[in-house]
Structure 1
């Protein structure tokens, strides 16, 4: 067949599954048969029209979303070792131009001219039967990392970087805002490092789910106890929380910002200065992908309980619109092979 099924966002609030041409591997690229893909908050923002890139011109409708994925390489282009064919892989979201100063310094995820799979620059995403990406963006998956874990590597890479930036370990206390997918993954990585993890959330359902994952220190928004927190990770979307993080972190502590609010958030830098606080922003999973695969493969972190339901491509629109039930687990996965 010369066509395949893919999710296409045709405008704000408009999601359809269309027959589109199957990808062909360009030089340096591989075609991957997608076996599992995650639906992310970024996909929802693209669906509802709130995503910043839609307003800056970095992306436009129609677009094909999906950037958390894994699959099997089925074809390669010129200049690619044929041994890639048949390998189980996942792929980096950020595709730099490879020639700019940032790319040459190993930070291709910050390339000014980067494309982002399923998000930016017109590069089609993985909510489809197949995807074509540069081989340089691929990471091989060991047998111990199944399809569910494989599609959780990309969000896990973001979370691992946030947990490492928090710098917590044995004897340290971490507070995480937002018990969604990223916040819970941060909590899992920090717990694996030996930290005492506290989570703050807004809904009882999300807090109860966090407790079910073994996190005993779970607090409603505004009810966090007066404890010394050595680090705070803001994985939420509320505009007031970045400033609150600066208020509650211990002097000499660390704040990690990975969540994004829809409106600008204000932080009084005097608080950071007087408390001698280090503040870090995390944009991308790219530098953390290999270590995340290792953590999953070893069993040090097992985020599979975060996946509440797996659906077919035809159900993605309902998921993005918030009308498909998924239970208390925050992550929805898609299997393009389901009908």
Structure 2
């Protein structure tokens, strides 16, 4: 089968590789859509931290936002999965340690991460092996485009949950990228007053096209009931603490390539709760239901769908003018070269 492989910083190709065979408790999914995200770009540039810690190495097969149809089941996997459209958890714990036993498999020290950690192959390929326990069935009517947006949406949903918002509360989202916009859409669907802070008017123009009229390129001189930092700016965490009301919550889901510093005195003296969110684990089912309900429509976030042969250009930052400013690029591995 064909698969996209990053062979080193700035180097990638589409290769013919052996198709996966399902192991015990596993299935093989025919991939219909896969999303390209910032983590994938970090692998392409060489900036991904796991490359330095040894948790990942080249060559790497990326892709952890996906949807597809189960085509094979291994020994011990429920044959009822066959023919079902699914997505799945990126984080695959060992299933034996205390973290896995307490529902924190996404923090398992020995975990695999699909398309990211410990050489589990990713979804930028025609077929993908997945443990059956990690599958998330998609509701009838949820097509591959929406299915491949469930994983990023699960991250956003967990961030909004962590913000502990009530209807009418004011939320500031820092960073109008995919996760920030999905968090904004989710919070708005729950009745929050959403504000977005971005670096440029161009990035905020797209947010305004989604109906968000409260946008800023400079930090507003007001306090918010919650702040979600979905940016990659090293100064954003400290900004978030300055922007939140005392006694409220700041949620960190974005990551900077360089260390971010915060003054813990601001946390203590403001009696502020700071929450970090890693992965969509625990948020997939809720996101699928949210999309199926029609309360959140993430389709406008997808700028284009490309073939595997076009992924290297996407990772290098190439964008066609007709794609506009939507942040997400999808890949259909079935498209011809």
Normalising by the residue count of structure 2, what TM-score does the alignment of the two structures yield?
0.98
2:4 alignment partner, SS class = strand
Residue 310 of structure 2 is matched in structure 1 by: 315
Say whether 1:97 aligns with 2:100.
no
Residue 216 of structure 2 is matched in structure 1 by: 219
1:291 alignment partner, SS class = helix
Aligned counterparts of 2:86 and 2:136: Cα–Cα separation in 1: 5
Aligned counterparts of 1:142 and 1:226: Cα–Cα separation in 2: 43
Residue 265 of structure 2 is matched in structure 1 by: 270
Residue 52 of structure 1 is matched in structure 2 by: 49
Say whether 1:15 aligns with 2:12.
yes
Q: How many residues align?
A: 334
- C-alpha displacement at 1:284, in angstroms? 1.0
Residue 293 of structure 1 is matched in structure 2 by: 288
Residue 70 of structure 2 is matched in structure 1 by: 73
Contact 1:175 1:232 in 2 (8 A): yes
2:315 alignment partner, SS class = helix
1:329 alignment partner, SS class = coil
Residues 233-264 of structure 1, C-alpha deviations (whole Å, 9 max, x = no match) = 00001101101111111111100000000111
Residues 117-164 of structure 1, C-alpha deviations (whole Å, 9 max, x = no match) = 000000000000000010000011112211111000000000000011
Gaps of 5+ in 1: none
Gaps of 5+ in 2: none
Residue 255 of structure 2 is matched in structure 1 by: 260
Q: 2:324 aligns with which of 292, 304, 327?
A: 327
Q: 2:202 aligns with which of 201, 205, 213?
A: 205
1:127 alignment partner, SS class = coil
Say whether 1:137 aligns with 2:134.
yes
1:38 alignment partner, SS class = strand
Q: 1:228 aligns with which of 223, 230, 239?
A: 223
- C-alpha displacement at 1:227, in angstroms? 2.1
Q: 1:249 aligns with which of 234, 244, 247?
A: 244
- C-alpha displacement at 1:74, in angstroms? 0.4
2:226 alignment partner, SS class = strand
Contact 1:169 1:190 in 2 (8 A): no
Aligned counterparts of 1:248 and 1:91: Cα–Cα separation in 2: 35
- C-alpha displacement at 1:85, in angstroms? 0.7
Normalising by the residue count of structure 1, what TM-score does the alignment of the two structures yield?
0.97
Q: Pairwise CA RMSD of aligned residues?
A: 0.8
Q: 1:63 aligns with which of 42, 60, 65?
A: 60
Aligned counterparts of 1:255 and 1:102: Cα–Cα separation in 2: 25
Aligned counterparts of 2:2 and 2:81: Cα–Cα separation in 1: 24
- C-alpha displacement at 1:228, in angstroms? 2.5
1:207 alignment partner, SS class = helix
Q: 2:277 aligns with which of 265, 271, 282?
A: 282
1:252 alignment partner, SS class = strand
* Further displaced range: 225-234 or 16-25: 225-234
Aligned counterparts of 1:197 and 1:101: Cα–Cα separation in 2: 38
Residues 4-33 of structure 1, C-alpha deviations (whole Å, 9 max, x = no match) = 000000000111000000000011000000
Say whether 1:338 aligns with 2:331.
no
